[in-house]
Amino acid sequence: MSLREPPAWDGPSADPNDEQFGDIVEPTNLDDMDGFDAVLVGEPYDSAVIGRRGAREGPGALREALAGVKTHRFDAGSVQSIGDLGDVEALDGDVSAVQESVCEMTREIHASDALPIFIGGDNSLTYPNAAPLLSDSLGIINFDAHLDCREVHGEPTSGSPYRQLHEAGLDAYACVGARHFETSTAYAEYVDEQGGEIVTSEAVGNDVESAAERALDAMAGVDTVYVSVDLDVLDATAAPGVSAPTPGGLTTRELFRLLRATAADDRVAGFEVVECAPPLDSENLTAAAGARAIAHFLSAYDGDSS
């Protein structure tokens, strides 16, 4: 498996004072990625989706939306030092084979000093995105409407990555933004049996800071933290372009605060935004939210601490 050549980036604003991500993201490759604090990796794939497809077009839409986002955050300054490795290619065949091939690529990417930011793409690739980190004690904070710990019957799906990761040795798990009436009792009980933490979307709405603390407390004792954003964690009004949009989700502002809190943890070793499906979107709302999720995470991430 290889990487397609990354696209050229350009900020669309004509104002010379408007520094945008399109002005600072630089195409790079596996040999040179160590020169960046973080690198984008596109994963155009949706063959394992439970529900509506369209996420294979997510990487392009997220890049386009991110290019026009300004780099400055109040109280933090501007984001810098971001590379783009391009898209993982040859994502076809049965899901297990795709996961195995992607894992070979992500293992090489994780060996770098740069923080990988995987942009997808469906949630089934969370397994190969995070699996190389299992060589250390690993915890995952999953911003998601669903627990995604279904049993694998035949081939893996977008609903099974955390079951796979637990069976492979995942040490800690927290799902933030889980919706009432969007999961099965058996899966809630499974997460409880694994010692995982479930922070509902209502709990986030009641106290964002406490929700972030609960997620980070669940990571106590692990050496490495991986952070995943399934964009269906957002309310359907904010992210209609996902496989399973539902009411009762997080606001974008709540998600951005949570991401800044988790990105500041010096154990963070990987980040992803998945399930952006442009054909299902309305006025690019989902891609815009996903792009800003990346910006907020990067604005709080300390590239010197990992």
Q: Is residue 100 part of a domain?
A: yes
Number of domains in the chain: 1
For the stretch 174-194, pLDDT in tens is 999 999 999 999 999 999 999
| Whole-number Å distance between alpha carbons of 4 and 26 | 15
What pLDDT sits at residue 249? 98
For the stretch 46-56, pLDDT in tens is 999 988 999 99
**C-alpha to C-alpha distances, 229 to 26, 89, 276, nearest whole angstrom:** 23, 22, 10
Q: What is the CATH number of the domain that holds 250?
A: 3.40.800.10
Q: Is residue 152 part of a domain?
A: no
Query: Residue 236 is encoded by which pair of tokens?
Result: 């359907």
Tell me: pLDDT of 1 over 70: no
Mean pLDDT of 193-221: 98
Q: Is residue 115 part of a domain?
A: yes
| Whole-number Å distance between alpha carbons of 12 and 14 | 7
Mean pLDDT of 189-209: 98
**C-alpha to C-alpha distances, 258 to 78, 86, 264, nearest whole angstrom:** 19, 27, 10
Q: Is residue 191 part of a domain?
A: no
Strand pairing class (172-178; 38-43):
unpaired
What pLDDT sits at residue 114? 97
Q: Is residue 201 part of a domain?
A: no
The answer to whether 96 and 156 have CB atoms below 8 angstroms apart is: yes
Predicted confidence band of residue 302 (pLDDT cuts 50, 70, 90): confident
Q: Is residue 119 part of a domain?
A: yes
Which of 199-203, 256-260, 299-303 has the least mean pLDDT?
299-303
Q: Beta-strand (E) ranges in the chain?
A: 26-27, 38-43, 72-73, 77-78, 82-87, 115-120, 138-143, 172-178, 197-200, 224-230, 268-274
What pLDDT sits at residue 93? 82
Expressed as residue numbers, the domain containing 256 is 21-134+225-300
Q: Is residue 10 part of a domain?
A: no
What pLDDT sits at residue 306? 38
Average pLDDT, the chain: 96
What pLDDT sits at residue 305? 42
According to DSSP, residue 244 is labeled S
What pLDDT sits at residue 303? 65
Predicted confidence band of residue 91 (pLDDT cuts 50, 70, 90): confident
For the stretch 117-163, pLDDT in tens is 999 999 999 999 999 999 999 999 999 999 999 999 999 999 999 99
More confident: 306 or 10:
10
pTM of whole model > 0.85? yes
Q: How many CB atoms lie within 10 A of CB 80?
A: 13
Q: Is residue 192 part of a domain?
A: no
Query: Residue 149 is encoded by which pair of tokens?
Result: 């710990």
Query: φ, ψ for residue 161 (rounded to 5)?
Result: -60, -35
The answer to whether 116 and 178 have CB atoms below 8 angstroms apart is: no
Q: CA-based diameter of the chain, in Å?
A: 55
